[in-house]
Amino acid sequence: MRIAVLGAGSWGTTVASILTRRDHESLIWARNPATAEEINAKHSNGRYLDGFPLPSRLRATSDLAEAAAHAELLVVGVPTGAFRTTLEQVRPDLHPWIPVVSLSKGLERDSLLRMTEVIKEVLPGHPAAALTGPNLAKEIMAGMAAATVIATEDLTVATAIQQVFRRGLLRVYTNHDVIGCEVGGALKNVVAIATGIAQGLGVGDNTRAGVISRGLAELTTLAVAMGGEPHTLAGLAGMGDLVATCISPQSRNRHVGEQLGRGRRLDDILAEMGQVAEGVKTVHAAVRLADQHGLAMPITRTIHRVITGDITAERAYDGLLSTHPAGHESEPG
């Protein structure tokens, strides 16, 4: 199968490598022509996956129209802020009816749409799916075992995509609950910022465990309010992705939180990273969704106040777990 992967970051490049090793004819689009040239000439992507050789058969281009015309399956791994614009640009050159798979975990800030909803809005008639789960790119490139989920309402389509992605130690499951899977993938980044702050402040593992657990309750509550199924958030797209993102030093969102906990300014942290930490943008949309559905979501709201500069990270942890008297554990808050 001819597959185009849009976005040559760490995860996009990893997915393109997986697909190439599955003997698919993969073409990866890189916004930066120098990155595309490096992939073609040196079979490497030093900025995002330094030290990991890429398959020699993997081709790259900086021509978005070429990538779109190549695709019998389109995989989109650009940041959520560029997701809609990228789809609009590929639309004239895209073959009709081909499936479009989102790798991007977040919410569109203005519309509050999930990425599969953006796909359906911009590319009507194309089956939309999301690939999500605890998938740290460098571990997968190193050949470590991992599990992921392909989520789409049509399980026939999901099964077909599952066969495309499955390889070696990467175990691919299907799920019909797209809402639950996408909300879990988006909101876990916000909770990861919170647990990163805990790490930076050195407040203890008990506190981090409490934040992760109550964070899972928050993202479950929001997913269900939006129409998702609660048990989805106990699986790979919820708890699995949440744990990996909150505890791994490879997590960009955890890193942002850790640096905030050490007293650094957000702008300086993001400028130094040179990469997108989706939780920084997602938290704005998450608070608006919480307002729409009348949800407390104290962790999300507290991190929003940190990101907007209303309170310091240290002040956030003074009351993050005690904003009001605790009720039954099954209740939000």
Delimit the domains of the chain by residue range: 2-176, 179-320
Q: Which of 186, 176, 285, 278 is nearest to 228 (CA)?
A: 176
Mean per-residue pLDDT, 40-50: 97
Q: Report whether 97 belongs to an annotated binding site.
A: no
**Contact predicate 227/118, CB 8 Å:** no
Over 60: is that where the pLDDT of 322 sits?
no
> Higher-confidence residue: 316 or 125?
125
- Distance of alpha carbon 87 from alpha carbon 121, whole angstroms: 10
Over 90: is that where the pLDDT of 90 sits?
yes
Mean per-residue pLDDT, 17-22: 94
Q: Report whether 253 belongs to an annotated binding site.
A: yes
pLDDT-based confidence at 321, cuts 50/70/90?
low
The per-residue pLDDT for 318 is 80
Type of residue at 264: R
Domain 179-320: assigned CATH number = 1.10.1040.10
Coil, strand or helix: which one is 147? strand
Q: Report whether 276 belongs to an annotated binding site.
A: yes
Coil, strand or helix: which one is 276? coil
Q: Report whether 241 belongs to an annotated binding site.
A: yes
| Residue pLDDT, tens place only, 211-244 | 999 999 999 999 999 999 999 999 999 999 999 9
Q: Report whether 137 belongs to an annotated binding site.
A: yes
Q: Report whether 10 belongs to an annotated binding site.
A: yes
The per-residue pLDDT for 275 is 82
Mean per-residue pLDDT, 157-182: 94
Distances (CA, A) of 140 to 4, 119, 168, 277, 303: 20, 27, 10, 20, 30
- Distance of alpha carbon 84 from alpha carbon 110, whole angstroms: 12
pLDDT-based confidence at 332, cuts 50/70/90?
low
Q: Report whether 188 belongs to an annotated binding site.
A: yes
How many CB atoms are closer than 10 A to CB 309? 10
Distances (CA, A) of 273 to 160, 191, 256, 259, 286: 37, 19, 9, 11, 23
Residue 188 catalytic? yes
- Distance of alpha carbon 222 from alpha carbon 220, whole angstroms: 5
- Distance of alpha carbon 116 from alpha carbon 274, whole angstroms: 26
Catalytic hit among 120, 138, 188, 281 = 188
The per-residue pLDDT for 320 is 58
Over 70: is that where the pLDDT of 79 sits?
yes
Over 90: is that where the pLDDT of 333 sits?
no
The per-residue pLDDT for 167 is 76
Give the side-chain half-sphere CA count within 13 A for 282.
27
Q: What is the mean pLDDT of the chain?
A: 94
Q: Report whether 317 belongs to an annotated binding site.
A: no
Superfamily of domain 2-176: NAD(P)-binding Rossmann-like Domain (3.40.50.720)
Over 60: is that where the pLDDT of 323 sits?
no
* Cβ neighbours of residue 87 closer than 8 Å, sequence gap 6 or more: 76, 100, 118, 119, 122, 123
Q: Report whether 133 belongs to an annotated binding site.
A: yes
Q: Report whether 31 belongs to an annotated binding site.
A: yes
pLDDT-based confidence at 174, cuts 50/70/90?
very high
- Distance of alpha carbon 31 from alpha carbon 34, whole angstroms: 9
| 227, burial (CB in 10 Å: exposed 0-12, middle 13-18, buried 19+) | exposed
